[in-house]
Homo-oligomer: A and B are copies of this chain.
């Protein structure tokens, strides 16, 4: 597994799409295919992890550590994960996904919004691949701090969610019944992607995606490809960095940091960055 990324020349970037939909003939499959084609036409390298096609193991459990015997010792998953990571003993499916992330300049998670979050197979990809020593529990040498929330082994790469939902945009608005889409996605964008050090750009969200005409699907795909092509020019969401001076040693925002309370407080305005 490569331990460092090999950045492509500025004109050609490496996109990695993690795709979590059970049906390649779906709108999501169409969008994925068009993304791969559209990025390829512009000279970019595109790889994908098609989790359903790979029958990716979703459940983090003792079977992830086949060389270990838990008859007399209890399984502490995050500890085992760290030991496997440190000794190069991760299962091949986990190691492969980690290598793909390290090789990419941009990571796209593309999925249908199921119960206001990721399909289980994608959550399981996060649970298993984002191992201790790889995505969490990485010390910042000589500081007693962690590489976390803005720093990490994957720092310097872009990340974007690409989400479809049958719901209408108004339902996901400031006073829509589901709650604002940016807040619903905060646990993923901030709690997972920013946590592991990626530069997260605003999600691409397609609403009311059921029974689209071919023409509407074409337009949607063009919009998606456009967003993907501009990902390196887009300003990342201004999530604050854990070790950037905004947080005290309990990881609470210092009193002089503006932003009020809640999720929004963790996003610095452009003039605060």
Binding site for B on A (CB under 8 A): 22-23, 25-26, 52, 58-62, 70, 74-77, 114-121, 123-124, 126-127, 130, 149, 168, 170-171, 173-180, 183-184, 186-187, 190-192, 195, 242, 247, 250-253, 257, 261-263, 265-266
Contact = CB atoms under 8 A, between A and B. Distances in A.
Interface class of chain A by DSSP: loop
A177 B266 contact: yes
23 contacts: A22-B61, A26-B75, A59-B119, A59-B120, A59-B124, A60-B119, A114-B127, A115-B127, A116-B191, A116-B192, A117-B117, A119-B127, A171-B250, A171-B251, A174-B262, A175-B252, A175-B261, A179-B187, A179-B191, A179-B266, A183-B183, A183-B186, A183-B263
Contact of A252 (B26, B76, B123, B171): B171
A59 B121 CA distance: 6
A169 to B, nearest CB: 10
A59 B61 contact: no
Contact of A74 (B25, B77, B183): B25
